[in-house]
Each structure stands twice: as C-alpha cells, then as structure tokens.
Structure 1
Amino acid sequence: MTSVAATAGLPDDESSLAGAGELSVSGSVFQVLAPDGTVAGAGFLTGEDAGFTCAHVVRAAGRSPGGRVEVRFPHLPDTPRVLAEVVAEE
C-alpha cells in the first residue's frame, strides 16, 4: 500500500483532502490521475488529510514515493482536484 497526503491545491477554506465534515464510504473514494488526466486507479481516505492506494496505482500515474499525484473525488462533484504527496510504499 502507498500512503498519500494533501500538499497543494486546496482552497484557502479547505483543511483536508475532501473538505470538512464526515464522509460516507463513497465520499472517501478518490481517483488517482495520470499526467494526461486519465484515471490511473483509486484510493480511500483514512483521515482528514491522508489516504491509501496501491503502489501499482501510483506507478501507473507515473509517480513514486516523494512525488505528487493529482486526485479527485468522483462522488463529491463540488470538491476540487488536489495534489497529494506520495508519502511511503509499504
């Protein structure tokens, strides 16, 4: 598994990957985007500013630990895309 954390791209009034408040299961799902904007895979929030995805998803997005991936929340259409740092591969 690979951990991601919000690092950039959040609006000034947002403090987490998906914004404030409790999320439903579907609301905790995020898509990891490849540089061309296609979906490389999915991940799941585990806290306000942390989530997990599989290492092969990060690699499919052309990234590795220490890099950043763009993520979006398909079930939360008003939530902006954000950049997330790839923290670790376990």
Structure 2
Amino acid sequence: MFKGLSSVTYLILFILFTFLFLHEFLFMPFLFNFSILEYIHLEWLGFWSIFLAIIFLGLFLRKAYNLNTKKTLLTIGGSILLVFVILLILLLSVAGQL
C-alpha cells in the first residue's frame, strides 16, 4: 500500500503524527487538568498517533537510507520500546499527583 510513496512523504507523515501525539497526549491534559481516568480514556488518539509516527519513521529510514527489513524492524521495535518506557514514566508521575 505504501510502496510507491517517497521518503519525503514518509517524513511529512512522521512529523504530522508526532505533532498530533504531542498535542493530544502531552499538552491537552495539563491545559485542562484532567483526572487520571479521563486522561487514560481520552488519550487513545495520542497512543495511536505515536505508533503511526514510529511506523512512518521506520518507513522513512528504510526508503531514505536503503535499510533492509531487519534493520527497519529493529529501529521500529526499539522506538516502540522507548515510547512505552516514556509513557509509563508519564503515567506513573500523573498517578503520583492524585
């Protein structure tokens, strides 16, 4: 499906979904002071946007730098693991403020 897209398109999609993640997951809860349950319930868009951003980053790296499938999957997997750790730290810090 995404085979015909250029590396610039992948980079633009990565930036778009990263901005969406930053807006929905990081800035909105602090502006409107959500409780932890509202925070978790309303942030599915933030979770999905960061995973799509990571996938498009991997596709961009694969297209731009001619990476093979194994290196691309390692990059995507490492990025997802890093995001999970960051999200866990954020959720624990928000839960500690209750």
- In the superposition, the TM-score normalised over structure 1's length comes to 0.26
Give the number of the structure with larger relative contact order, counting CA–CA contacts within 8 Å between residues 6 or more apart: 1
More helix by share: 2
Higher-Rg member (1/2): 2
**Bigger proportion of residues as strand:** 1
